[in-house]
Each structure stands twice: as C-alpha cells, then as structure tokens.
Amino acid sequence: RLGICGGMLGGRGQLPRFEASIRSGRRGQPLNPPISRMALPAGGAGLTSRPMPSPAAAVEVKTTLSTSSSNCSSTSTYHDDIEAVLYSEALLHQRTSELGHQLARDFADKSPLVLGVLTGAFQFTGDLMRCMEPCPRGTTVNFVRASSYTSGTTSSGQVKVKVDIASSAVLGRHVILVEDIVDTGQTLTRLKAHLLEECGAATVAIVTLLDKRERRKVVLEADYVGFTCPNEFVVGYGLDFDEEYRTLPYIGILRPERYAHLNK
C-alpha cells in the first residue's frame, strides 16, 4: 500500500486512480467518484459496504452497521457509534492528495502561509501539507483557533477568533486557510476578514475538506473543496462531538442516540 500522496492504494479496498475535476480558475471542484468498495477500519466489526450512489447524489458512500445497540458498554468502540460511513479512509487519502498537488501548482511562486483552523482541521492540515509536492519554497505552517460551536450539534453563531500568530508573520503573505468543514460560514467569514483587515494578508484562499452548503447563513464560497457534505452530523478524521471521535480514520454519521439528550 502506498502512502497518502502516492495515488493508488493497494490491498483490500483498492480504489481506481482518478483525476479531480477542477473548477474554472483556481477553485477545486468537490469530488464524487463512483466506487463500490471501501477500505474499512480495523476494529470496525459489523460494517458492511454497499455500492455508491451516482456522482450527483449528495452522499458519496454509505456503510451501515449491522448492529443497532444504543447503549455504550465498556467493550464498545467509537466505531459502534457510527450509523454510516460517508468518506472512507482511502477516499480521504485520494482527495487530499489531489488537493495538495493542486495547491502546490497554484502557489508555486507565492511562498504561502498555511493556517490550519483548530481543532477540527489538524488532521487534514497535516496530510494536506505532506501532499503539497513539489512544495513551494518559503512555505510555512501555523494554526489559528476560531470556533462558533459550543457543546452541541449546531452552530452557536457567536464567533470568537483567537489568532496565536503575530500579525507581522501574516503581513503581505498569501494565506491558505485550511478548515475541516464549512457549515454556516460565519466562522470563516470572520476569520478571513481578520487576516485581511487586521493582519494585512495579501490574499486568503479557503480550503475545506467538507462543504455543508445546506446550512450556509452567509455568502461564502471556499476556493478549494474536498466533498460536498449532506446535512448530517458527521465525525471522524479530526471532526468531533464534545471532543470525541476525532481519531476515527474515516468520516461518518454519528448515531442520533449519542446526542439525543441535548434536545431534551
């Protein structure tokens, strides 16, 4: 099996190599490749795969659990709390590789500053950076903290921006702002304005792994998009619910019973 930036993945769950469709100009088109098999995680017993819907469908992959127990026992794992897998580990690797190579081309002569939005984008940011090959000279990476979420499943709308980086490090730089998911768009709108107006960035390009367009509350378009995400509560690959599930190697839909108490 090749590394994350190696393209084709060998072994079980092998995916055919495919090229990303690119929007006109610099934007990355969300990918919806037709595949029928998935690389399932170790420890995910009870997971059974089924063919992917057509590329036009909102959900790329669904893998259902054969068990439906809602009680969390001492021997259960985070896999047991997942109702369906939307994006397999192999599919995430493939799309991240394509986005990384595209960013390397688009920013080849711009010495970009890559800023990952904590905490959800830490996994995606690291993998994306490794796939920026050949990496533009002068590329640096840092992280910012900006969140509009409280202990729940919906956006609070109250955006607090904390930037743990000196304005001088941003001044005049071409910033690649990396996010795990764009939901209402309020967080990134505020953060982008902060980087441009208060820190003096030359440009700010938004890269998001998931784009949940159905929940947008402001006018905001990401420059590079991994996948258009259905309006489901998703976790894994850095995305969390109350700081849990970030370690899952795939992205899946969280069982409603795991957060039903919040609606009471």
Give per-residue pLDDT as tens, 156-213.
555 666 666 788 989 999 999 999 999 888 888 888 998 999 999 999 999 999 999 9
Q: Average pLDDT of the chain?
A: 76
The per-residue pLDDT for 170 is 94
- With bands split at pLDDT 50, 70 and 90, how would you rate the model's confidence at 42? very low
The per-residue pLDDT for 58 is 37
**Position 224 pLDDT exceeds 70:** yes
Percent of the chain past pLDDT 90, that is, above it, reads 49
Rounded Cα–Cα distance for residues 136 and 222 (Å): 21
The per-residue pLDDT for 166 is 81
Rounded Cα–Cα distance for residues 186 and 201 (Å): 19
What is the reported pTM? 0.70
Q: Catalytic site residue 183?
A: yes
The per-residue pLDDT for 61 is 43
Rounded Cα–Cα distance for residues 80 and 97 (Å): 29
Catalytic position from the list 183, 223, 240, 242: 183
The per-residue pLDDT for 77 is 92
**Position 237 pLDDT exceeds 70:** yes
